[in-house]
Amino acid sequence: MAATNSMTSIESPKRSRLRRAGLLPYMLALPILLYEALFLLYPIYKGVESSFTKQTIGKAPVWIGLDNYRRLIQDENFWNSVQRTIVYMLAVIVVALSFGLGSALLLNRPFRGRSAARGVMTLPWAFPDVPTVLVFVWILNPNFGVANRMTSFLPFVADHPTWLNDPKLAMPIVVLITAWKGFPFYSLVILAALQTVPGDLAEAARVDGANKLQAFFAVTLPCITPTLLLLTVLAAIFSFKQFTIIFLLTGGGPSGATDTIVIRVYQTAFRFHNFPYAATIGVAGFVMVVTIALIFLAVQRRQELEVS
């Protein structure tokens, strides 16, 4: 009996250590979960709750059910914002990923100064949004900007473009600046994916008579397609929620040409002081982002199953 008690006393600390070791991952993850719940999940819940209310300045919110969503469905300005957001998002994805893929292919080739070129390429991504926008606002100034100085030498440009004040030019300019700001990140990720492509596969394609372009589409592109799909998801989310660049460049103008959903939420909340309806627009935008992400992830999952 004494021997049994001594064995139990020896095993008890060991079990206690094992129990603590099993709880350690959960204890380490607990601060992150608390942060997510406090600063992400709770604000999302309050936003959804606010979308079912109506508030008058100086009075408590009043529950009105789905009235805000009925108004949203009939709101022409909202659907125009959705259209502009989709156009902006697709344009940024195409431009940013195209430049990212092209620069990654160039930087994947050996040449003198490649490391320095990679470092210089990351500068647009490293610059904060506000200084970047201020520089471009100066460049695009219709009176003394560098852009008008350069276009004055073009024979087919008669007048000085107003750039950000032109409804036809504002959205393309915002797209280009957003893509310029973000493409280094995509380029570095694609470059890392290119360096994992087996060299013997490309060499085998060349032995079979394929040129460089054919080898790229037959070997390189299928190998990096999962990375491109992931970057497409990230680019869609980043562009969908982009606020700083659009707001500082155009504020949603001119004439609503760059009025995306995020700008519409800001204007509704802080210009028209209709916070419940702004929350309704935000909930609709959140649902759209989640839907887009799920579609891309389903496509990526399907491709992984086909490859395996």
* Strongest mean pLDDT among 114-123, 132-141, 147-156, 287-296: 132-141
Flag whether pLDDT at 8 surpasses 60: no
Backbone CA torsion sign across 248, 249, 255, 259: negative
Domain boundaries, the chain: 2-50, 67-307
Each residue's pLDDT tens digit, 11-37: 566 566 656 667 777 788 888 889 888
What pLDDT, on the 0 to 100 scale, is given for residue 15? 62
Flag whether pLDDT at 7 surpasses 70: no
Least confident of 132-146, 194-208, 212-226: 194-208
Flag whether pLDDT at 4 surpasses 60: no
Flag whether pLDDT at 115 surpasses 80: yes
- pLDDT band at 80, cuts 50/70/90? very high
CATH class of 67-307: mainly alpha
Higher pLDDT, 228 or 159: 228
Centre a 10 Å sphere on the Cβ of residue 131 and count the other Cβ atoms it contains: 9
What pLDDT, on the 0 to 100 scale, is given for residue 97? 95
Instruction: Quote the percentage of the chain above a pLDDT of 90.
Output: 39
- Average pLDDT (204-230) is 82
Flag whether pLDDT at 259 surpasses 90: yes
Q: 97, 228 in Cβ contact below 8 A? A: yes
- Average pLDDT (32-52) is 89
Each residue's pLDDT tens digit, 133-174: 999 999 998 888 888 888 777 777 767 788 899 889 999 999
Closest CA to 281 of 29, 58, 12, 85: 85
| Cα gap 173→83, rounded to integer Å | 17
Q: Roughly how many angstroms between the first and final C-alpha of the chain, as a whole number? A: 59
What pLDDT, on the 0 to 100 scale, is given for residue 21? 62
